[in-house]
Amino acid sequence: VLFPLQYTKLKTLLEDEFPGDLEISGESTPRTSGWFEVEVNGKLVHSKKNGDGFVDSDQKMAKIVSAIEKSIGK
């Protein structure tokens, strides 16, 4: 139940910060808390499925923002 709310909040925050630069996908899954992927120009910068975990701290959010900025040359 929490995943859709967390996903929507994170997606909105990142898209507001980097409009048009991101491809964000995610899905709630029955056996886990879902997955959350962030791509920039075809490069995966965050993957919950691949071990980056869900973004539940300022440090994790800062890591994603830094990776996005690096990928877009900001």
Dump pLDDT digits (tens) for 33-49.
778 899 998 999 999 88
Query: Residue 54 in contact with residue 36, Cβ under 8 Å?
Result: yes
Q: Is pLDDT larger for residue 74 or for residue 45?
A: 45
Distance CA 73, CA 12 (A): 21
pLDDT cut 90: percent of the chain above it:
45
Least confident range of 5-9, 10-14, 15-19, 22-26: 5-9
pLDDT at 2 over 60: no
Domains within the chain, CATH numbers bracketed = 2-72 (3.40.30.10)
